Amino acid sequence: MAVNDRELMQTYDTLQVLSPEGKVLAEEASQLTAEMKRTLFEKMLSCREFDEKAMKLQRQGRIGTYASYKGQEASQVGSAMALEPMDWLFPTYRDHGAGWTHGQDWSRILLYWMGHPDGSITPDGLRIMPQAVPIATQLLHAVGTGWADKLDGKRHASIAYFGDGATSEGDFHEALNFAGVFQTPTVFFCQNNGYAISVPFSKQSASETIAQRAQAYDIKGVRIDGNDIFAVYLTVKEAVERARNGGGPTLIEAVTTRYGSHTTADDAKKYRDQEAVQASWAEKADPVERLRRHLLQEGLLTEEAEADMTEAVRKKVDEALETAESYPKPTRESMFEHVYESASWMAEEQREQRGSTR
Ligand SMILES: Cc1ncc(C[n+]2csc(CCOP(=O)(O)OP(=O)(O)O)c2C)c(N)n1
């Protein structure tokens, strides 16, 4: 079958459960209770609050470079909410909303961006891996933990987060191939925001979608609206349950748009057409606003309740900042620690060249 065959492409049409206007479009939404919907909303509010705060802290010089996820809250919260506590989570440098939803502290995430090694410590008992900066490497690790669990007869899933750019790396293809052959309990969760720094997806790949690449490895591929938290939650839930029950891996492409630049060290205005970005937002609707509309229409949220929620999440983020800022500044020496069990000769040489200044 030719790859561009229309029938095949329809398999990868973008699933939407909640319309940009906040209307339910699919029967499956009935699985979500009112309480669950309010929880999803509160978590997205918290993620938005954290991200906006972190951007301000960077501008004030209180944290280093920062990678914002604003606009991707539905993808991150919806996917992490679908996990069980003992599932493994492999984030990138941008998936703070997912890590926090799965149990990481905001204070640790701030510490990471302050350059503190304690920023990569996960609360006891949780399997949240340190943020992966080398693109796509974490996909192989997620396949590895899944395979180990499978061999041990444990029923856990592993989810790996990555962007569209990561799908051009060899590691992506190796991970999908291995996962397909060994039927590992892995969920590959791609947030496709259309850009890998300045490279648009059209210049990156000839495939129309990322989800269709699952076909090559004979695994399930699904394309969803990544700004629709119901579609994200329900799709990931199904994928982790399939993984847990021996049904093998899934590749999920969550199509989304990020408001900001790649990081605070980048200026997207130089390469992203601002009008197209605005149009895309108008069409897709902000993920927080979309769920807000739904809750208001269904009588599940009042303006007073929202104001209380906003105040509560703000307080939590402020407390996390206080905790992070109470830590002593990291020493330069800490750069050489926690990478290998014993230092490599290259690290030793660099440590010596550095001298003894803090
Ligand atoms: C192996 C590797 N090559 C290059 C880089 C430099 N780099 C950092 S982020 C990035 C783009 C990643 O884009 P994408 O995967 O779409 O994720 P996004 O940042 O958009 O969430 C690149 C090329 C890197 N970190 N690792």
Q: What is the CATH number of the domain that holds 247?
A: 3.40.50.970
Nearest to 230 by CA among 294, 282, 139: 294
Binning pLDDT at 50, 70 and 90, where does residue 358 land? Answer: very low
Are residues 64 and 87 both part of a single domain? yes
Are residues 32 and 158 both part of a single domain? yes
Decide if 178 is inside a domain. Answer: yes
Are residues 82 and 23 both part of a single domain? yes
Cβ 82 vs Cβ 237: under 8 Å: yes
Q: How far is the CA of 220 from the centre of ligand 1 (A)?
A: 25
Are residues 340 and 322 both part of a single domain? no
Decide if 1 is inside a domain. Answer: no
**pLDDT for position 110:** 98
How far from chain centre, in Å, is Cα 309?
23
Dihedral angle at the C-alpha atoms of 258, 130, 236, 219, nearest 10 degrees?
Answer: 100
Are residues 174 and 269 both part of a single domain? yes
- Atom nearest to 191 CA in ligand 1: 21
Answer whether residue 41 shows pLDDT above 70.
Answer: yes
Domain count, the chain: 2
Are residues 228 and 341 both part of a single domain? no
327: tokens are 């830590």
Binning pLDDT at 50, 70 and 90, where does residue 332 land? Answer: confident
Decide if 55 is inside a domain. Answer: yes
Cβ 159 vs Cβ 240: under 8 Å: yes
Q: What are the tens digits of pLDDT across the range 112-147?
A: 999 999 999 999 999 999 999 999 999 999 999 999
Are residues 248 and 344 both part of a single domain? no
Answer whether residue 291 shows pLDDT above 70.
Answer: yes
Nearest to 88 by CA among 78, 99, 97, 96: 99
Q: How far is the CA of 196 from the centre of ligand 1 (A)?
A: 6
Q: For strands 195-196 and 199-200, give the pairing.
A: antiparallel
Cβ 320 vs Cβ 106: under 8 Å: yes
**What are the contacts of 99-103 at 24+ separation with CB within 8 A?**
99/128, 99/131, 100/46, 100/47, 100/50, 101/43, 101/47, 101/76, 101/77, 102/126, 102/128, 103/128
> How much of the chain exceeds pLDDT 90, in percent?
84
Are residues 69 and 218 both part of a single domain? yes
- Atom nearest to 196 CA in ligand 1: 13
Are residues 237 and 279 both part of a single domain? yes
Q: How far is the CA of 163 from the centre of ligand 1 (A)?
A: 8
Q: What are the tens digits of pLDDT across the range 47-81?
A: 999 999 999 999 999 999 999 999 999 999 999 99
Q: How far is the CA of 258 from the centre of ligand 1 (A)?
A: 15
**CA-proximal residue: ligand 1, atom 25 (nearest):** 134
The count of residues in the chain is: 358
334: tokens are 């800490």
Among 141, 189, 197, which is best to mutate for testing ligand 1, by the most ligand atoms less than 8 A from CB? Answer: 197
- Atom nearest to 133 CA in ligand 1: 25
> How much of the chain exceeds pLDDT 70, in percent?
96
Structural domain span for residue 354: 330-358
Give rounded-to-5 percent helix, strand, coil for the chain: 50, 10, 35
Query: Residues with beta carbon inside 6 Å of ligand 1?
Result: 94, 133-135, 162-166, 193, 195-197, 262
How many of the other CB atoms lie within 10 Å of CB of 73? 29
Straight-line distance from the first to the last Cα atom of the chain, in angstroms, rounded to the nearest whole number: 62
**pLDDT for position 356:** 53
Are residues 247 and 347 both part of a single domain? no
- Atom nearest to 197 CA in ligand 1: 11
Are residues 60 and 86 both part of a single domain? yes
Are residues 311 and 341 both part of a single domain? no
- Mean pLDDT of all residues in the chain? 94
- Which residues participate in catalysis according to the annotation? 258, 262, 271
